Amino acid sequence: MAAKKKQSQPAATDQLQLTFNSTAGTLKKKRTDDSPEPSSHPEAQSVAASQKTPDSTPDETSAARPTRKRTKAATAESMAAAQREISISEFFAKNRHLLGFDNKRKALLTAVKEAVDNSLDACEEAHILPEIQITIAQQDEDRFRITVRDNGPGIVKNQIPNIFGKLLYGSKFHRLRMSRGQQGIGISAAGLYGLLTTGRPIQITSRLPKKKEAHHYQLQIDTKKNKPDIVKEDIVPVDWANGTEVTIDLLASYIKGRQSVDEYLLQTAIANPHCTIIYKSSQDPQVEYRRTVNQLPLIPDEIKPHPHGVELGTMIKMLDDTAAKFLGGFLQSEFCRVSPGLCQQVCKQAGLSAKTSIKQLDGTKIEKIYKALQQAKLMAPPTNCLAPIGAEQILSGLLQGVKAEFYTASTRPPAVYRGNPFQVEVGLAYGGELGPSPTDISFGNETAAPPAARVIRFANRVPLLYQQSACCMFKSVLDINWSNYSISQSRGALPSAPLLIMIHLASVWVPFTSEAKEAIADYDEIRKEIRLALQECARRLGLLLSRKKRSQAFARRRDVFTRYIDELVSSTVAIARINRESLRNNLLKIAQRHTRVADQQYDEHGKLIEQDQADTPLANTIVVKPTTAPDTSNVSLFESDATTTEPSKKRRARKKIRTLS
Amino acid sequence: MSKSRNTTKGRPSGRSPDTLKKLVQLAELVYEHAQKGRDPSVDIPLRTLSNVHFNTKSRIIEMGRSKQTRNFFNYGQAKRFMQTILVAAKCKELLDAGKSASIRQIYYMAKHTIAGTQEKTFVDQSESDPILEDLEVATASLREELHVFAANRGALIGELQFIDSGDSIDATHLGSGGYAIPSIVEPEVIQFRKCSAKFVLHVEKDTVWRRFVEDRFWEQHHCIITHGGGQPPRGVRRLLYRLHHELKLPVYVLLDNDPWGYYIYSVIKQGSINLAYESQRMAVPEAKYIGVSSFDYDRCGLTDDVKLELDQADIKRSRQILEYPWFQGKKNWEREIKKLLSNGFKMEVEAMISKSLTYLTQEYLPYKLNNKTEWLD
- State the average pLDDT over residues A71-84: 80
Are residues A184 and A168 in contact, defined by beta-carbon separation less than 8 angstroms?
yes
A495-496 and A462-464 as β-strands: parallel, antiparallel, unpaired?
A: unpaired
CB neighbours of A328 closer than 8 A, spacing ≥ 6?
A: A340, A343, A344, A347, A354, A355
Number of neighbours of residue A73 by Cβ within 10 angstroms: 6
Among A373-387, A566-580, B150-164, B167-181, where is mean pLDDT lowest?
A373-387
CB neighbours of A229 closer than 8 A, spacing ≥ 6?
A: A17, A18, A165, A219, A220, A221, A222
- State the average pLDDT over residues A422-433: 89
- State the average pLDDT over residues B326-342: 90
What percent of chain A is modeled with pLDDT above 90?
Answer: 15
Selection from A415, A651, A411, A413 nearest residue A537 by Cα:
A411
What does R_g of chain B's alpha carbons equal in angstroms?
22
Give the H or E element holding residue A247. Answer: strand A243-251
Cα gap A332→A347, rounded to integer Å? 12
Cα gap B17→B23, rounded to integer Å? 10
Are residues B150 and B156 in contact, defined by beta-carbon separation less than 8 angstroms?
no
User: A interface toward B at CB cutoff 8 Å?
Assistant: 557, 560-561, 563-564, 566-568, 570-576, 578, 582-583, 586-587, 589-591, 593-594, 633-634
- State the average pLDDT over residues A256-279: 89
- State the average pLDDT over residues A240-252: 91
Cα gap B89→B91, rounded to integer Å? 5
- Nearest by CB to residue A560, choosing from B78, B93, B115, is B78
Q: Is the pLDDT of residue B264 over 50?
A: yes
How far apart are the CA of A597 and the nearest CA of chain B, in angstroms? 14
- State the average pLDDT over residues A622-627: 62
Look at residue A613 in the predicted model and tell me its pLDDT: 39
CATH of domain A96-289: 3.30.565.10
CB contact under 8 A, B114 and A564: yes
Are residues B170 and B115 in contact, defined by beta-carbon separation less than 8 angstroms?
no
Q: What is the pLDDT of residues B22-79, one digit of tens each?
A: 899 999 999 999 889 888 989 988 888 888 888 888 888 988 888 888 888 888 888 8
Are residues A254 and A261 in contact, defined by beta-carbon separation less than 8 angstroms?
yes
Average pLDDT for chain A: 76
* Angle, in degrees to the nearest 10, between helices A327-334 and A363-375: 50
The conformational region for residue A482 under phi > 0 = left, psi -120 to 50 = alpha, else beta, is: alpha
Q: For residue A634, which residues of chain B lie inside 8 Å, CB to CB?
A: 116
What DSSP string runs through A539-558? HHHHHHHHHHHHHHHHHHHH
Q: Is the pLDDT of residue A328 over 50?
A: yes
Where do the structural domains in chain B lie, given as residue ranges? 7-39+74-149, 155-374
Selection from B364, B279, B372, B297 nearest residue B332 by Cα:
B372
CB neighbours of A303 closer than 8 A, spacing ≥ 6?
A: A176, A177, A336, A381, A382, A384, A385, A421, A508
Cα gap A176→A174, rounded to integer Å? 7
Q: A384-661 domain in CATH 3.30.230.10?
A: yes
Q: What is the pLDDT of residues A578-590, one digit of tens each?
A: 888 999 988 888 8
CB neighbours of B38 closer than 8 A, spacing ≥ 6?
A: A590
Q: What is the pLDDT of residues A156-165, one digit of tens each?
A: 888 888 888 8
How far apart are the CA of A569 and the nearest CA of chain B, in angstroms? 9
How far apart are the CA of A554 and the nearest CA of chain B, in angstroms? 9
Selection from A535, A540, A542 nearest residue A497 by Cα:
A542
Q: Name the active-site residue from B75, B108, B241, B252.
A: B108
- State the average pLDDT over residues A473-479: 91
Q: Is the pLDDT of residue A513 over 60?
A: yes
Q: For residue B38, which residues of chain A lie inside 8 Å, CB to CB?
A: 590
DSSP state of A649: H
CB contact under 8 A, B40 and A587: yes
Look at residue A173 in the predicted model and tell me its pLDDT: 64
- Nearest by CB to residue A557, choosing from B75, B116, B121, is B75
Number of neighbours of residue A645 by Cβ within 10 angstroms: 19
Are residues B251 and B244 in contact, defined by beta-carbon separation less than 8 angstroms?
yes
Q: For residue B75, which residues of chain A lie inside 8 Å, CB to CB?
A: 557, 560
Number of neighbours of residue B34 by Cβ within 10 angstroms: 26
Cα gap A223→A232, rounded to integer Å? 18
Nearest CA in chain A to B111: A567
Give the H or E element holding residue A249. Answer: strand A243-251
Cα gap A511→B308, rounded to integer Å? 85
Q: What is the pLDDT of residues B110-135, one digit of tens each?
A: 999 887 777 889 998 999 999 998 99
- State the average pLDDT over residues A252-280: 89
- State the average pLDDT over residues A405-429: 88
- State the average pLDDT over residues B344-355: 91
State how far Cα A89 lies from the chain centre: 25
Cα gap A360→B369, rounded to integer Å? 131
Cα gap A221→B346, rounded to integer Å? 107
Nearest CA in chain B to A588: B34
- What are the residue ranges of helices labelled H in B271-350? 296-299, 312-323, 331-343
Selection from B310, B297, B152 nearest residue B239 by Cα:
B152
CB contact under 8 A, B85 and A572: yes
Cα gap A477→A457, rounded to integer Å? 11
Q: Is the pLDDT of residue A62 over 60?
A: no
Are residues A33 and A244 in contact, defined by beta-carbon separation less than 8 angstroms?
no
Q: Is the pLDDT of residue A648 over 60?
A: no
Q: What is the pLDDT of residues A188-199, one digit of tens each?
A: 888 888 988 898
Is residue A551 very low, low, confident or very high in pLDDT (cuts 50, 70, 90)?
Answer: confident
Look at residue A259 in the predicted model and tell me its pLDDT: 84
Q: B155-374 domain in CATH 3.40.1360.10?
A: yes
Q: For residue B114, which residues of chain A lie inside 8 Å, CB to CB?
A: 563-564, 566-567
Selection from B227, B228, B218 nearest residue B173 by Cα:
B218
Is residue A654 very low, low, confident or very high in pLDDT (cuts 50, 70, 90)?
Answer: very low
Q: What is the pLDDT of residues A201-236, one digit of tens each?
A: 999 999 998 888 899 999 888 878 778 888 899 999
Q: Is the pLDDT of residue B174 over 80?
A: yes
**More confident site: A458 or A102:** A458
| Class at the top of the CATH hierarchy for domain A307-375 | mainly alpha
Average pLDDT for chain B: 88
Outline which parts of chain A fall under CATH 1.10.8.50: 307-375
Cα gap A89→A165, rounded to integer Å? 10
What percent of chain A is modeled with pLDDT above 70?
Answer: 76
**More confident site: B338 or A416:** B338
How far apart are the CA of B144 and the nearest CA of chain A, in angstroms? 18
CB contact under 8 A, A586 and B37: yes
CB neighbours of B133 closer than 8 A, spacing ≥ 6?
A: B47, B274, B275
Of the CA atoms within 13 Å of residue B340, those in its CB half-sphere come to 29
Among A510-524, A593-607, B210-224, where is mean pLDDT lowest?
A593-607
Q: For residue B117, which residues of chain A lie inside 8 Å, CB to CB?
A: 563
Selection from A50, A68, A113, A163 nearest residue A458 by Cα:
A113
How far apart are the CA of B88 and the nearest CA of chain A, in angstroms? 8
Q: For residue B74, which residues of chain A lie inside 8 Å, CB to CB?
A: none
Selection from B171, B282, B287 nearest residue B233 by Cα:
B282
How far apart are the CA of B94 and the nearest CA of chain A, in angstroms? 11
Q: For residue A591, which residues of chain B lie inside 8 Å, CB to CB?
A: 73
CATH of domain B7-39+74-149: 1.10.10.10
Catalytic: B108?
A: yes
Q: Is the pLDDT of residue A632 over 70?
A: no
CB neighbours of B13 closer than 8 A, spacing ≥ 6?
A: B98, B99, B100
Q: Is the pLDDT of residue A547 over 80?
A: no
Look at residue A446 in the predicted model and tell me its pLDDT: 43
Q: For residue B86, which residues of chain A lie inside 8 Å, CB to CB?
A: 567-568, 571
CB contact under 8 A, A568 and B30: yes
CB contact under 8 A, B88 and A591: no
DSSP state of A432: G
Residue A229 β-bridge partners: A220
Residue B370 β-bridge partners: none
Cα gap A616→A624, rounded to integer Å? 13
The string over A414-445, giving b where at least 16 C-beta atoms fall within 10 Å of a residue's C-beta and e elsewhere, is: bbbbebbbbbbbbbbbbbbebbbbbbbbeeee
Give the H or E element holding residue A365. Answer: helix A363-375
Selection from A218, A246, A255 nearest residue A133 by Cα:
A246
Cα gap A343→A376, rounded to integer Å? 10
- State the average pLDDT over residues A72-95: 78
CB contact under 8 A, B82 and A564: yes
Mutation target among A557, A568, A584 for the B interface, most CBs of B within 10 A = A568
The string over A206-238, giving b where at least 16 C-beta atoms fall within 10 Å of a residue's C-beta and e elsewhere, is: bbbeeeeebbbbbbbbbbbebbbbebeeeeeeb
Among A58-67, A249-258, A480-489, B312-321, where is mean pLDDT lowest?
A58-67
CB contact under 8 A, B89 and A590: no
Selection from B53, B56, B77, B78 nearest residue B66 by Cα:
B53
User: B interface toward A at CB cutoff 8 Å?
Assistant: 23-24, 26-28, 30-31, 34-35, 37-40, 72-73, 75, 78-79, 81-82, 85-86, 88-89, 92-93, 114-117, 119, 121
Selection from A10, A12, A13, A39 nearest residue A27 by Cα:
A39
Look at residue A7 in the predicted model and tell me its pLDDT: 42
What SS3 class is residue A422?
strand
